Structures are given as C-alpha cells and as structure tokens.
Structure 1
Amino acid sequence: MRPLNVSIAAIALIASAGVAQAHPKLVSANPAANTAVAAPGKISLTFSEKLVPAFSKAELTMSAMPGMAAMQMASSAAVAPDGRTLIITPKSRLARGKYVVTWHVVSGDTHKIAGNYTFAVK
C-alpha cells in the first residue's frame, strides 16, 4: 500500500509544478487603455514576469479615419532594464487621433502571449 501513496504524492507534485509556471500578464500600460492623453513620447507596457528581449516586440498603428487608411507608425520597441517593461518609442510626435498598441511577448516559460489596446491623442 505504501508504493501507492508514494505514487500519488509524486503525481500531485508533478501536477502542481505545472501550475507554478504562469504566462506573463500585462499589469499596466501608460498611456492606459481607452484613455485620451497628450502626445506621449513613449508608451510603456509592464508585465508580471521578466521578458525575453529577442522575442518581445510591439507595433503602434494609427486607426483609420474618414479619408485615411490605418497607418503603422514608425517606432522602436525594447525591453527596459527592469526586464518586465516593454517601451515603445515613436520616431516622431504622435498626431491627434486613435492608436492601437499591438504587442507580443515571451517570458522564461517560452510561451508567446499577445494582445492589444487602444488610446487616443487629444
């Protein structure tokens, strides 16, 4: 009967180890989702886990408006020294309008997580 108890304990330990590995979650964004702000010089996305810089990127797109198609904005994205924050820096000042931040990140668990949100420049 004792080997059965050891087997059950081993299975429980293995199952709980999988639960400990979480995926990165977006904790905060600046500018925040669905806000209207003055033109930001940078956009920061902070995640719950350290990111793998080579596989963590973001794009900034100005939403379509009457008479104008959606336009990807020239920008760069880099992981900040804290390892948890992805910084998007537009190459030029953002004009008034709505923007979509589209991101994908990878943390130590090697799973790619993606998302997006919008904000407006007033």
Structure 2
Amino acid sequence: MSKFESISGRALELAGSVGDTLRTNVPDRAMKWIETGAALGAVKAGSRAATRFVRRNPAVAIASAVGAGVLLYAVRRHQRKLQESAPIEGKATRIEAKKAPARKRAPARRTRKTAAE
C-alpha cells in the first residue's frame, strides 16, 4: 500500500467521523439550517450552469420552453376534459313518481256523413 493510498483512506475515515460527530452533536435545528444552505448552494450552482447553457445555446432553450408550454397546455386540456365528464358531486333526494289525476275527456265530435258519400 502506497503512502498516498493510506493518506486518502485516512482522510475518508476522518471525514466520515466528522460527519457522524456533526450529526450526533449538532441540534436538529442547526442541521436543518445546514441542509437548507446546501440546498441553496445547489440551486445557485444549477442556475449558474443553466444560465451559461442558455447563453451558449439559445435555440435549444427556446425550443425546450415551447415544448414545455405545449405539454402543459395539453395536460390542462386533458384535465378539463376529464372534469367535464366526471359526475357532479352533490346531494340529491329521490322524488317518488305519483299517478296524475284522471283527466275528464271531452265527448268525441262526430262528423256528419254527407249523402254524396
């Protein structure tokens, strides 16, 4: 084993033990702050990389934005279509059918037969 391998192995062990010590000794609130800071750092680095990419490749960025917009439009139309065909939620009461009262019929009118018939 070379001296370099032993030093790097020892450094990894030391980093692991420091991380474990921090996790056990640092209160939960401080750990959340550390996680938040790491997340903000990742977002900052990602936004920097994205800005650099957009500056170098504007056509690709525009095409991807248009594609995302079309996809969002299609999804919203599909959701609206599903909502329209979905049953309407609400309360309903059943009304029993009743027979209508009998109607009085007017006497039938008779037509006269003429002698020519």
Q: 1 or 2, which has the higher helix percentage?
A: 2
Higher relative contact order (CA 8 A, sep 6+): 1
* Bigger Rg over Cα: 2
TM-score range, shorter chain: under 0.3
With normalisation by structure 1, the TM-score equals 0.26
Task: Please report the TM-score for the alignment, with normalisation by the length of structure 2.
Answer: 0.27
